[in-house]
Amino acid sequence: MRFVKGILLLVIVAFLVLFAAQNSDVLTSGTLFKLDLHWVTWETGQLPLYLLVVGAFLLGGLLMFIYLLTEYLRSKGAAKSLRHERDRLKRELENERASSTSYTSSYTSSSSDDSDSGSAES
């Protein structure tokens, strides 16, 4: 599987290099962004398209990292609370078994006493 992942990554990189080489004039052409509100006007200089593509990719990666980190921390907290709940229930079950065993042993000993006294009367 590791070998397949390596080959797939190599194919993707080769495709991206080929795409960039064939479209170098489009990717280096400048793009202007302008924000025109009633009270403020802001405009960028000429930015190459490849810079915008790489910036969007990095921003998306950063946002995905933040999202996955929060989900990881949330699931880790949920797992911890479930482990505590499991341990509490185990202790409760052991206590119930211990009290049930003592009740059963006292019941068994009293019933054996009854059977002994019944056999002595016969």
For residues 46-59, average pLDDT: 88
Q: Give the pLDDT band of residue 32 (cuts 50, 70, 90).
A: confident
Backbone angles phi, psi at 105, to 5 degrees: -70, -35
pLDDT, residue 105, reads 61
Q: What was the pLDDT predicted at 108?
A: 61
User: Could you count the other beta carbons within 10 Å of the beta carbon of residue 45?
Assistant: 7
DSSP, collapsed to helix, strand or coil, labels residue 45 as coil
